[in-house]
Amino acid sequence: MTWGVGQAFQPADDVGQAFQPADAVGQAFQPADAVGQAFQPADDVGQAFQPADDVGQAFQPADDVGQAFQPADDGYAPLTVRGRQLHGCDHALPVASAQVKSALLLAGLYADGPTIVRQPGPARDHTERMLKEQIGKSANQQISKSAGWEALTFDTGTVVLNPALIDYLRPLDIVVPGDISSAAFPLVAAALVPGSEVTVAGVGVNPTRTGLLDVLWAMGGEVEVDGEREQGCGAGFPACRNQPGFPACRRCGAGFPACRNEPVADVTVRASPLRGVGISGDTVVRTIDEFPVLAVAATQAHGTTLVREAAELRVKESDRIAALVAALRALGARIEPLPDGFIVEGPTPLHGGTVDSHGDHRLAMALAVAGLVAEDAVVIERAECIVDSFPEFTDLMRDLGATVTSDRLDTDFTDAHG
């Protein structure tokens, strides 16, 4: 694929529509049935894949609850899963992983005792919010009265699940908010391409996911968050935010976790000068999937951008630190790897070139954004991986002003200056 010269990104009705979640889900479903099938005693064999992105982390907690996982001799799939009676466990996660946490909670529905998951920092809480909504307030009170403790409690550090709640789960009509990790690419592109402005409507602003916005604000980006509301709240009340300093929800008069619906908002970013920042601590967890495109932003920011405590980037769909450093260096960026992050010196004019996505969808889209501010075309090899999470990405960026051509699904982006 080739990205060619286009115009500055301008607000358009179809930009917001591209991220409207209504078409995506909106149907009733019963996850309990699906989870039940997953834990029937059977040998399930999967297809070969590279065991990155939390797979290795899942083995130890799976052993803790009594589930037998056996990878192939080389540590790769196929995996053999042998079902058995599951036990409650008290498991401390070494890193704040929403995927591992969610797997433990869903397994805990079928355990013979409580499941407690302790995490070292904030991790995405979509599963907890969904389960809490599925049982409803009255069922939670009933379970609390009969069992002596609530069906589900959670905060930034600990989640406690009572397996009795499985008998009270009800199907829901769920509208999934727009994915902020996907929205990150047009938003950061708008911040970088002079004269640009992009609004993404109905994007999820769950506080466990909004590190991108906080970093852009810290970099001096012109970011507006309007119309905050809870998805499914009806009239649209201000979102309940699990962060110090945010007001309690006006719907229920209480703070997190009383509000179980997902907060959404309309996010607008306009082009503006950026400055380098330091990123570490809890912000890393809340920004983990957006670091590839934020690294591109850092190449155009004035000063030093330092990312630390992000070693998880090395076990994503690729070693994102090594792959990102290699690709951006090939385009002229001044970037150095660290064991747990990277350092970027900016601003640096990027030139064109051919770069490898390593089959990593987020890296491919980040390099596409780099192509929009580069002096010449950027050719991205193995760009077909973009469809893994954002099939409409290329069409959306074309609508915003980028010029894209394709050759066997490799992608070539050039600048979008008007």
Q: Which of 173, 194, 216 is the last residue of a domain?
A: 173
- Mean pLDDT for 315-337 is 96
Q: pLDDT value at position 135? A: 82
pLDDT band (50, 70, 90) for residue 359: very high
Does residue 236 belong to any structural domain of this protein?
A: no
Average pLDDT of span 116-141: 83
- In this structure, are 376 and 348 located in the same domain? yes
Q: Is residue 240 part of a domain?
A: no
289 an active-site residue? yes
Q: Dig out the tokens for 175 from the structure.
A: 């509208």
Which DSSP state fits 45? E
Between 74 and 40, where is the model more confident?
Answer: 74
Contact (CB, 8 A) for 337 and 321: yes
Whether residue 385 sits in one domain with residue 327: yes
Owning domain of residue 68: 28-173
Question: Do 156 and 275 fall into the same domain?
Answer: no
> Are residues 232 and 147 in contact, defined by beta-carbon separation less than 8 angstroms?
no
Domain membership of residue 243 (yes or no) is no
Q: What is the mean pLDDT of residues 116-126?
A: 87
Domain-embedded: residue 306: yes
Check whether 45 has a pLDDT greater than 50. no
User: Of the spans 8-22, 129-143, 169-183, 242-256, which averages the highest pLDDT?
Assistant: 169-183
Per-residue pLDDT averaged across 89-94, rounded? Answer: 90
Find the mean pLDDT for residues 350-363.
95
Between 65 and 355, residue with greater pLDDT: 355
CATH assignment at residue 54: 3.65.10.10
117 located within any domain: yes
Q: What is the pTM of this model?
A: 0.75
How far is CA 147 from each of CA 57, 105, 144, rounded to the nearest angstrom? Answer: 32, 18, 5
pLDDT of res. 232: 54
Kindly report which listed range (27-31, 152-156, 289-293, 351-355) carries the lowest average pLDDT score. Answer: 27-31
Provide φ and ψ at 11, rounded to 5°.
Answer: -60, 140
For the chain, the farthest-separated pair of C-alpha atoms sits apart, in whole angstroms, at 67
Measuring CA to CA, which residue among 312, 307, 371, 365 is closest to residue 341? 307
Of 155-159, 372-376, 386-390, 414-418, the range with the lowest mean pLDDT is: 414-418
Q: Between these two residues, 52 and 346, which has the higher pLDDT value?
A: 346
237 assigned to some structural domain: no
Is the domain of 66 the same as that of 112?
yes
55 — pLDDT class (breaks 50, 70, 90): very low
Q: How confident is the model at residue 41 (pLDDT cuts 50, 70, 90)?
A: very low
Are 217 and 137 contained in the same domain? no
Mean of all residue pLDDT scores within the chain: 78
Residues 159 and 183 in one domain: no
Name the more confident of 171 and 90.
90
One domain, residues 166 and 301: no
Portion of the chain with pLDDT greater than 70, in percent: 73
Task: Specify the pLDDT at position 328.
Answer: 98
Distance of CA 101 to the CA centre of its chain: 15
Same domain, 145 and 195: no
From the candidates 125, 179, 266, 289, which is the catalytic residue?
289
Query: For 307-326, what is the mean pLDDT?
Result: 94
Domain boundary among 173, 197, 212: 173
Query: What is the crossing angle of helices 98-108 and 126-147, to 10°?
Result: 30
Q: In this predicted model, what pLDDT tens digit does every residue of 235-256 receive, in sequence order?
A: 333 434 443 333 444 444 444 3
Distance CA 394, CA 128 (A): 33
Give the residue, 12 or 413, on which the prediction is more confident: 413
pLDDT in the model for residue 139: 75
124 and 189 housed in the same domain: no
Predicted pLDDT of residue 233? 42
Judged against a pLDDT cut of 90, whether residue 365 lies above it is answered with yes
Confidence of residue 144 (pLDDT cuts 50, 70, 90): confident
Domain boundary among 146, 173, 200: 173
Angle among Cα 80, 85, 91 to the nearest 5 degrees reads 85
**CA angle, residues 337, 292, 297, in degrees to nearest 5:** 95
**Residue 358 resides in a domain:** yes
Confidence class of residue 8 from pLDDT cuts 50, 70 and 90?
A: low
Residue 42: the pLDDT is 34
> Residue 270 above 70 pLDDT?
yes
> What's the number of domains the chain is made of?
2
Same domain for 85 and 187? no
pLDDT of residue 35: 35
Per-residue pLDDT averaged across 341-364, rounded? 96
Q: Kindly indicate the confidence band of residue 67, based on its pLDDT and cuts at 50, 70 and 90.
A: low
pLDDT at 291 over 90: yes
- Let me know whether 142 and 213 are in one domain: no
Pick the more confident residue, 199 or 16.
199
Nearest to 197 by CA among 207, 206, 205, 186: 186
Higher pLDDT, 81 or 325: 325
On whether residue 206 sits in a domain, the answer given is yes
134 neighbors 60 (Cβ within 8 angstroms) = no
311 and 274 together in one domain: yes
